[in-house]
């Protein structure tokens, strides 16, 4: 004879176990659904920026715009993690390591030190890296001499149009003899640019006087020292120096010495002129390259780095007036953009 009491107890236990297992299964599936970046159709990009200034900010904004043009829109199908290293190499490495730990789909590295840190981390994590605002990818060991990548990394270069810059300075300052350049001795892109300036300066009747610095704290004294030896300054895309450009401009203005920039933002805030780059456009170019990687159309390891196609003239008439300098009509007429105020 069946013991109904015992049978009912067993049935009740089995039912409780089934309910418990069902609840665990539902919770587990819900957890995975919430954590999966793929199930909601989104990809995640970690953007690491080496320093905070207008040029690199424009790179980042352009990068997002380029992605959007290719169908990747932030907060819709794209998650963005953004970190700024505040011009510190150690922080750059920490940022890249953090992105790798979060298993982002791609790391975007803005400026040479950030790109080098991201590349070092990505080699172990197998995460593609795309860089921008890297002056010399070959010297930075991110690419080979023929432009092919050294690994799962590619991007865009902001190589300066040195000869066009020298020709512009000669046209504006026909009697100038010595050009001063402040640069960070730890930035590979800057030492590369200095070398090129020195190699080509004599062709335009100039001598390059350099002033090396290690940190932003060195800039006031280095600027004072350099301004006493030169007829003008020309600025690189050196992140440490650009971050302190207002200090340099203030000292140069007090001595009546013109400062030439290397891109549009520097002219906006007080450089006299530049045969320079539009970093927003460079960012767009980089964003479109990143989209190809995300879509699976290309691998970073198969894409040569690219350079911006053409340098353009930018001038500031307010600065020219303050210095008592007249910008040549042919340059003004052909300028990509002219400014009549000095942005604060």
- The alpha carbon of residue 335 and the mean position of all alpha carbons in its chain are separated, in whole angstroms, by 25
Residue 195 has pLDDT above 80, yes or no: yes
**Quick one: 235 and 301 in the same domain?**
no
- Angle at which helices 188-201 and 162-172 cross, to 10°: 50
Assigned domain for 265 exists: yes
**Quick one: 229 and 202 in the same domain?**
yes
Residue 277 has pLDDT above 60, yes or no: yes
**Quick one: 68 and 136 in the same domain?**
yes
Assigned domain for 34 exists: no
| pLDDT, tens only, 280-309 | 999 999 999 999 999 999 999 999 999 976
Domain of 182, CATH number, reads 3.40.50.2300
| pLDDT, tens only, 97-124 | 999 999 999 999 999 999 999 999 988 8
Please tell me whether residue 70 adopts helix, strand or coil conformation: coil
- pLDDT grade, residue 38 (50/70/90)? low
| pLDDT, tens only, 142-156 | 999 999 999 999 999
Q: How far apart are CA 176 and CA 269, in angstroms?
A: 23
- pLDDT grade, residue 7 (50/70/90)? very low
Residue 8 has pLDDT above 70, yes or no: no
Q: Measured between alpha carbons, how far is residue 242 from residues 39, 79, 107, 196, 224 in Å?
A: 42, 30, 24, 19, 16
User: Of 82-86, 123-127, 178-182, 229-233, which range is least confident?
Assistant: 123-127
Structure tokens belonging to residue 197:
């300036």
Domain extent at residue 206: 162-276+311-339
Assigned domain for 31 exists: no
Residue 336 has pLDDT above 90, yes or no: yes
**Quick one: 203 and 326 in the same domain?**
yes
Average pLDDT on 39-66 reads 92
Average pLDDT on 226-232 reads 98
Q: How many domains does the chain have?
A: 2
Residue 256 Ramachandran class (φ > 0 left, ψ -120 to 50 alpha, else beta): left
Q: How far apart are CA 338 and CA 111, in angstroms?
A: 27
- pTM value is 0.78
Average pLDDT on 120-132 reads 93
**CA atoms 107, 108, 112, 114: torsion sign:** negative
**Quick one: 245 and 187 in the same domain?**
yes
**Quick one: 106 and 120 in the same domain?**
yes
**Quick one: 71 and 138 in the same domain?**
yes
Assigned domain for 6 exists: no
**Quick one: 87 and 178 in the same domain?**
no
Q: How far apart are CA 30 and CA 45, in angstroms?
A: 24
Residue 18 has pLDDT above 70, yes or no: no
3-state per-residue secondary structure call for 168-213: HHHHHCCCCCEEEEEEECCCHHHHHHHHHHHHHHHHHCCEEEEEEE
**Quick one: 75 and 121 in the same domain?**
yes
Assigned domain for 299 exists: yes
**Quick one: 115 and 185 in the same domain?**
no
Structure tokens belonging to residue 305:
């780095």
Assigned domain for 57 exists: yes
Assigned domain for 10 exists: no
| pLDDT, tens only, 156-180 | 999 889 999 999 999 999 999 999 9
Please tell me whether residue 118 adopts helix, strand or coil conformation: helix
**Quick one: 177 and 248 in the same domain?**
yes
pLDDT at 124: 87
**Quick one: 75 and 210 in the same domain?**
no
Q: What is the rounded average pLDDT for all residues in the chain?
A: 89
Q: Measured between alpha carbons, how far is residue 163 from residues 89, 166, 199, 206, 238 in Å?
A: 31, 5, 10, 12, 18
Assigned domain for 7 exists: no
Of all residues in the chain, the percent with pLDDT exceeding 70 is 88
Q: Where are the alpha helices (DSSP H) in the chain?
A: 4-35, 54-69, 89-101, 112-125, 162-172, 188-201, 219-227, 239-243, 245-255, 264-268, 279-294, 317-323, 329-334
Average pLDDT on 237-248 reads 91
């Amino acid at each position: 004879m069946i013991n109904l009491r015992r049978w009912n107890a067993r049935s009740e236990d089995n039912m409780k176990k089934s309910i418990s297992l069902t609840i665990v299964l539902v919770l587990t599936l819900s957890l995975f659904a919430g954590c999966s970046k793929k199930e909601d159709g989104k990809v995640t990009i970690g953007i690491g920026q080496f320093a905070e200034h207008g040029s690199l900010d424009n790179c980042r904004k352009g990068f997002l715009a380029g992605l959007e043009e290719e169908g990747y829109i932030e907060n819709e199908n794209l998650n963005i993690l953004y970190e700024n290293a505040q011009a510190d190499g150690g922080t750059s490495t920490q940022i890249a390591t953090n992105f790798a730990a979060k298993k982002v789909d791609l790391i975007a590295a803005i400026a040479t030190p950030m790109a080098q840190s991201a590349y070092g981390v990505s080699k172990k994590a197998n995460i593609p890296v795309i860089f921008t605002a890297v002056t010399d990818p070959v010297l930075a060991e991110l690419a080979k001499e023929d432009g092919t990548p050294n690994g799962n990394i590619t991007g865009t270069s902001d190589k300066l149009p040195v000869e066009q810059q020298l020709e512009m300075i000669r046209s504006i300052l026909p009697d100038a003899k010595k050009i001063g350049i402040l640069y960070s001795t730890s930035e590979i892109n800057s030492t590369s640019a200095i070398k090129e300036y020195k190699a080509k300066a004599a062709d335009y009747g100039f001598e390059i006087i350099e002033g090396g610095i290690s940190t932003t704290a060195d800039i006031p004294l280095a600027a004072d020292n350099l301004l006493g030896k030169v007829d003008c300054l020309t600025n690189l895309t050196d992140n440490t120096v650009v971050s302190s450009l207002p200090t340099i401009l203030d000292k140069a203005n007090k001595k009546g010495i013109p400062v030439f920039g290397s891109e549009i933002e520097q002219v906006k805030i007080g450089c006299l002129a530049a045969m320079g780059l539009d970093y927003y456009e460079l960012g767009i170019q980089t964003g479109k390259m990143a989209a190809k990687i995300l879509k699976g159309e290309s691998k970073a390891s198969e894409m040569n780095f690219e350079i911006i196609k053409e340098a353009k003239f930018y001038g500031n008439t307010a600065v020219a007036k303050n210095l008592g300098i007249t910008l040549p009509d042919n340059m003004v007429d052909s300028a990509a953009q002219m400014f009549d105020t000095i942005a604060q």
